[in-house]
Amino acid sequence: MKKFSTLVYLGDDCTVHDWKTYVGSVLKNPGTSIPEVKKTGFMKSPTKKVCLVLGEPFYNFEGGELKSLNKRGKNFKEDLSDVIPKGILVKEAKIKEMKRLLALHYGDKWDKNETLGFFRNIFT
């Protein structure tokens, strides 16, 4: 795999932020911002702190009003401080199933296959 691509390991080469919690605290819930529309457009504000959306009732109609997707008084910040810690415990049943599937698809000597080195690192 290293021959054809660049591997980026989450937690080592790049940090992983908790986007789900952050976006839930800044943006409105889905379906509360725009009624049913045919055409939707997204824009960022000039200050880049608010996400704007334009919902049009018809395909050939343009004249709607830009609305903010942000909750009242909430803005995007540049730095996300919530970092997800490295390492997730994988259940033993999942590891056994992965080994079984690799053996099924690639044979019993799948661990000797150089292109499957990524999976060898998971099991060690």
Q: How far, in Å, are 19, 60, 87, 118, 120 from residue 124 at the CA level?
A: 30, 58, 14, 11, 6
Identify whether the C-beta of residue 69 lies closer than 8 Å to the C-beta of residue 33.
yes
Give domain limits for the chain. 17-82
Residue-wise pLDDT tens digits, 32-68? 666 666 777 777 777 777 877 777 766 777 776 777 7
Could you tell me which residues are beta bridge partners of residue 56? 39
Pick the most confident of 5-9, 44-48, 66-70, 105-109. Answer: 105-109
Dihedrals phi, psi of 85, to nearest 5 degrees:
-65, 150
And the tokens for 38?
């045919």
What pTM did the predictor assign? 0.49
